[in-house]
Amino acid sequence: MNRDDIINFLYSIYPKGYVLYTKNYIKEDEYKKYKSVLAQKKNNYGRSLRRIFEKEGYVFINFSAKEFPCFEYIVSLDKTDDRLDNDIEFIKSIGGIRRDIYIYVSKLLDCYFYVTRETSVKKNDNGEYEWSVNNIEIPQDHKKIEIKLQSFMEEKMLICLEEDFCKTILPDISTPYTGMGETTIFNLLFSSLYSYR
């Protein structure tokens, strides 16, 4: 499956030019197809992935939500806690930096995307805490688990989408959290709650 195939597929299941979930939107054939594709049983690889990560001592969290077209998993690279909330005291207690792998497996197509994120908190000159969240390369000391993740996904015949492709905007489609002109391929295949632009 190439990039054009993915874009054509998305246009076949998301109505163009409508505000999401309006009367006309839900009458469109594309929306009916979307609901049909989403209703088909998709393999949730959560248990298998949990075994892979926990065997290596990582904390694995299934953060999937029924309303999104993906399974979402979070892996704590710091092997410290399964808390997702970035509480100031918690972040300070683990050295001021939290690093996690976010894994998204589409329920619509046989593809996935993952990103490593670093969250940090520090005091500014005014004594107030400032948060920083950045996408980073996976640290060298965690490359082994990245290879295991990639091998597992290849074994399941899932295609890893590249970040630049996931950032591609399809200008005439909207989602519950993104409007027309700002909706990306990531939003359509995985989650409209986050954006990778």
CA atoms of 122 and 126, how far apart (whole Å): 11
User: Is there a contact between 41 and 72 (Cβ–Cβ < 8 Å)?
Assistant: no
What torsion, rounded to 10 degrees, do the Cα atoms 168, 170, 176, 179 define? 100
- The predicted-structure confidence for 99-121, as pLDDT tens digits, reads as follows 999 999 999 999 999 999 998 88
Assessment of whether the complete model's pTM goes beyond 0.85: yes
Structure confidence at residue 189 (pLDDT): 95
Structure tokens at 187: 């939003």
* Ranges in the chain, pLDDT < 70: 20-21, 41, 79-86, 194-197
